[in-house]
């Protein structure tokens, strides 16, 4: 039995949203919510300025297990996720072997048993994520894949994109695509612009993302589908034009959603002036005008979710000359803090919705709402707590945020009958 005292409920779907309440949990369920609760022999949690929301969901995590466990494994990813306040993570299929068979999906689900964090495998669209041959998506859906994607690889073949959308429509799963035209980004290292010219580095133009978004949206138009339930999801968008394209598509009723990586709002391309490979990400940090458009998209609902895009890379992959280093940063432990620290536009409950209700709806996960008789899947956090990011539970250390002071931090995660302190 667990008693959480005097906590502010931050949940737009809850009848108690914005209210200060005591919450009693018994056998993994909320048994009572009231102004004051007495419960003998209950474990009591209480703290200053604590808020509680449904457990946070990260839709985009590179776990690299199996195959690349020197970078990360599922247990270390879950540990980092818990510290960051996440009770659910969706792991991308870019492992070795890829998550393209029932066996690898079963491996992921079994490997994550006993964790406070639920792990949801994303099935590969093509075998080995190579973009050539279809996986058995319907079978993988029945085996537990919550969505389908080739992860870090865009779905480049238009025929495969069309057929995948048609298959997934039948099984009520979403196709997650990262929009990038490889022909325009080959050898690219950072955003194409004044800074890349100054540094003499090959740029990644914004049009490489925007052309693929246009293509994918045109495919939805060709299929003639209109629905409020997303069938196509754009992962880690980064440009102002992309935001506008998706906004227009939603206004027409197309079944589309999108997310942005938390780190995308923290830096523009000037961050790369010192050639620090910890700032090398894909999509790259763009211009300040793109960041402003992203905030507008978050505020008006064009952008549905925020992800960590947690992409651990070991020293051998990052501590290199800039053009040889791998893309990616770790982000599970800092995603909320980055979002909250830089936020100037969204009310807190709407901000938290980008980590809770919206990603759950996109992934077709069961709804979690703070109400009596519902499952106890919570994140307790203090939105005003100031702290410095000093250490990580990830196996990899590739983050530009070490030494950064943030505002806002998760305090506890509660899920599956377990209570775990965040750090």
Distances (CA, A) of 362 to 155, 192, 229, 307: 19, 31, 7, 13
Q: Tokens 């056998």, residue?
A: 27
Calculate the alpha carbon distances from 154 to 94, 149, 189, 234, 390 in Å: 12, 8, 17, 10, 34
Rounded to whole angstroms, the Cα distance separating 275 from 324 reads 12
Q: Measure the CA–CA gap between 229 and 173, rounded to whole angstroms.
A: 10
The catalytic position among 309, 323, 349, 384 is 309
How many CB atoms lie under 10 A from the CB of residue 205? 17
* Widest Cα–Cα separation across the chain: 68
Q: What share of the chain is helix, strand, coil (3-state, %, to 5)?
A: 30, 25, 45
Q: What's the gap between Cα 176 and its chain centre? A: 12
Q: Is 65 a catalytic residue?
A: no
Q: Is cis: bond before 134, omega within 30 of 0?
A: no
Pull the structure tokens for residue 8.
């502010």
- Of 419, 416, 378, the closest CA to residue 8 belongs to 378
Cα gap 176→195, rounded to integer Å? 31
The residues carrying an active-site annotation are 309
């Amino acid at each position: 039995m667990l008693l959480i005292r005097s906590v502010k409920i931050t949940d737009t779907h809850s009848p108690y949203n914005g209210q200060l309440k005591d919450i009693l949990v018994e056998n993994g369920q909320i048994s009572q919510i009231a102004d004051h609760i007495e419960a003998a022999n209950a474990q009591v949690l209480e703290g200053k300025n604590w808020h509680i929301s449904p457990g946070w969901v990260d839709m985009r995590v590179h776990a690299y297990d199996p195959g690349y466990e020197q970078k990360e494994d599922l247990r270390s990813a879950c540990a980092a996720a818990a510290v960051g306040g996440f009770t659910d993570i969706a792991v991308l299929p870019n492992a070795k072997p890829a998550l393209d068979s029932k066996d690898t999906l079963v491996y992921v689900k079994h490997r994550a048993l006993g964790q406070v964090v639920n792990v949801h495998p994303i099935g590969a669209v093509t075998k080995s994520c190579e973009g050539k041959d279809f996986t058995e998506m319907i079978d993988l859906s029945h085996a537990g894949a919550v969505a389908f994607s080739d992860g870090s690889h865009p779905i480049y073949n238009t025929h495969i994109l069309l057929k995948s959308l048609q298959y997934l429509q039948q099984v009520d799963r979403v196709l997650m695509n990262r929009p990038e035209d490889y022909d325009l980004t080959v050898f690219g290292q950072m955003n194409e612009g004044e800074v890349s010219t100054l540094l003499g580095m090959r740029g990644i133009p914004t049009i490489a993302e925007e052309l693929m978004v246009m293509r994918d949206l045109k495919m939805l138009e060709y299929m003639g589908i209109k629905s409020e339930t997303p069938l196509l999801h754009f992962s880690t968008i980064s440009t102002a034009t992309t935001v506008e394209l998706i906004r227009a598509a939603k206004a027409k009723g197309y079944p589309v959603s999108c997310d942005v990586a938390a780190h995308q709002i923290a830096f523009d391309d000037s961050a790369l002036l010192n050639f620090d490979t910890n700032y090398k990400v894909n999509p790259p940090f763009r211009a300040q005008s793109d960041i402003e458009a992203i905030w507008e998209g978050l505020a008006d609902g064009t952008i549905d979710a925020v992800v960590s895009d947690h992409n651990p890379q070991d020293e051998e992959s990052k501590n290199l000359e800039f053009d040889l280093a791998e893309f990616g940063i770790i982000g599970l432990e800092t995603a909320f803090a980055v979002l909250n620290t830089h936020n100037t536009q969204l009310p807190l409950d709407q901000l938290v919705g980008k980590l809770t209700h919206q990603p759950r709806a996109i992934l077709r996960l069961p709804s979690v709402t703070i109400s009596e008789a519902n499952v106890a899947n919570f994140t307790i956090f203090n939105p005003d707590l100031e702290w410095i990011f000093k250490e990580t539970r990830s196996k990899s250390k590739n983050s530009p945020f070490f030494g950064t002071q943030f505002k806002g931090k998760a305090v506890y995660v509660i899920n599956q009958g377990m209570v775990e302190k965040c750090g």
